[in-house]
Amino acid sequence: MASTTMSHQAIGSTVSHRPFRASQFLKEPLNVPMNFIPKRFKIEATASSQVSVIGNTVLSPSKNKPFESKKKSNEAALILIRHGESLWNEKNLFTGCVDVPLTQKGVGEAIEAGKKISNIPVDLIFTSSLIRAQMTAMLAMTQHRRKKVPIILHNESVKAKTWSHVFSEETRKQSIPVIAAWQLNERMYGELQGLNKKETAERYGTQQVHEWRRSYEIPPPKGESLEMCAERAVAYFEDNIKPELASGNNVMIAAHGNSLRSIIMYLDDLTSQEVTTLDLSTGIPLLYIFKEGKFMKRGSPVGPTEAGVYAYTKRLAQYREKLDEASLK
């Protein structure tokens, strides 16, 4: 497991004393014209011109009352998680865009990560198109106290959309849309993919391999530099994920060491020099709060009972209270 050289510890927290504006969760009616549905929620038009949407209003299963307030929120949680250990992490091989699954240890890391974020709201999940990120997201969500079901949206063809249609509005409300995007994939490691990292360092020199792995501008042979990876990953984040946060939707991104490094560089406004020391551990979730157009790093929730995590914002604290109330019923 890679070491973490920048601070990912849970940080001290203070309850916000700003006037609290509870979050608003979109609730899309079933029978609305396509052009009234935000593009990001469009799934399909059925033969009867109904639009099916995996909405994100959360209803209490027991009382059918809104779990979260419907009022528009001015803040949202953003969870970033690097996938758990993969079979090629274990073998110390450059992986890049090769689609390798998790090891048993990686499965455990994903489950532990899920426990750490089990009290933080998640309305939407973005993953890369690679199985190790998708496994991590799915395994993490098995631990979430809200017990909503993550469902991968299939947009690759009309048939894929039609055949994965969900016909129950109530079921959709208990679902979390999962959007897989290649733009969040690991950096393409070029001719290093499949090579052993230690042997490559012995052959080309530690310094050269370190530059390939951690520098911003220098690409590995026929591969993507971090800068090139950032061009697609950060653009995707800005175009598709930031608008969701701005709408008050809580987002989890399950992705990779380098695609997440590029996104963190953007969120934390790191320089190309600073990002060289950023190295993400597998399976450790990082929490940000998006508020008033700004990203505030909150570190890594230590555990589901870590009281400090829920004092980060009044909204998160209230969400936690609702979870506790629901679990007492």
Binding-site residues, in ranges, read: 82-89, 95-96, 132, 186-189, 197, 213-214, 257-258
Smallest distance, ligand 2PG to C-beta of residue 283, A: 12
Among 13, 95, 128, 183, binds ligand 2PG (CB under 6 A): 95
Interaction of residue 258 with ligand 2PG, rule CB under 6 A? yes
- Decide if residue 186 touches ligand 2PG (CB under 6 A): yes
Residue 34 DSSP class: G
For residue 315, what are the CA distances in angstroms to 22, 96, 309, 311? 7, 37, 12, 9
Instruction: Establish if 319 lies at the interface with ligand 2PG (CB under 6 A).
Output: no
Does position 257 interact with ligand 2PG (CB under 6 A)? The reply is: yes
Only segment of 93-101, 173-181, 263-271, 300-308 that touches ligand 2PG (CB under 6 A)? 93-101
Residue 189 binding ligand 2PG, by CB under 6 A: yes
Q: Write out the binding residues for substrate.
A: 82-89, 95-96, 132, 186-189, 197, 213-214, 257-258
213 part of the interface to ligand 2PG, by CB under 6 A: yes
Structure tokens at 210: 């370190």
Binding of ligand 2PG by 224 (CB under 6 A): no
Q: Does 44 bind ligand 2PG (CB under 6 A)?
A: no
Which of 20, 41, 94, 319 binds ligand 2PG (CB under 6 A)? It is 94
Residue 227: name the closest of 279, 272, 182 by CA. Answer: 272
> What span, in angstroms and rounded, lies between the C-alpha atoms of 235 and 196?
31
Residue 238: DSSP 8-state: I
Hunting for tokens 């950023």 — which residue is that?
278
- Decide the pairing of beta strands 124-127 and 251-255: parallel
Residue with smallest beta-carbon separation from ligand 2PG: 95
Question: Which amino acid is present at 121?
Answer: P
**Catalytic residue status for 170:** no
Measure the CA–CA gap between 74 and 21, rounded to whole angstroms: 7
Residue 299 near residue 286, CB atoms below 8 Å: yes
Q: Catalytic one among 186, 211, 224, 244?
A: 186
| Distance in angstroms (rounded) separating the CA atoms of residues 11 and 90 | 30
Could you say which of 83, 211, 244, 256 is catalytic? 83
Structure tokens at 150: 């993550």
Half-sphere exposure of 9 (CA within 13 A, CB side): 4
**Closest separation between CB of residue 224 and ligand 2PG, Å?**
11
User: How far apart are alpha carbons 266 and 264 in whole angstroms?
Assistant: 5
83 a catalytic residue: yes
Piece of 94-102, 118-126, 152-160, 166-174 that binds ligand 2PG (CB under 6 A): 94-102
Region binding ligand 2PG by CB under 6 A among candidate stretches 92-100, 101-109, 263-271, 283-291 = 92-100
Alpha helix (H) ranges present in 76-154? 87-90, 104-116, 131-141
What's the DSSP call for residue 59?
A: B
Q: What are the catalytic residues?
A: 83, 186
Name the residues that contact ligand 2PG, by CB under 6 A.
2, 89, 94-96, 186, 189, 213, 257-258
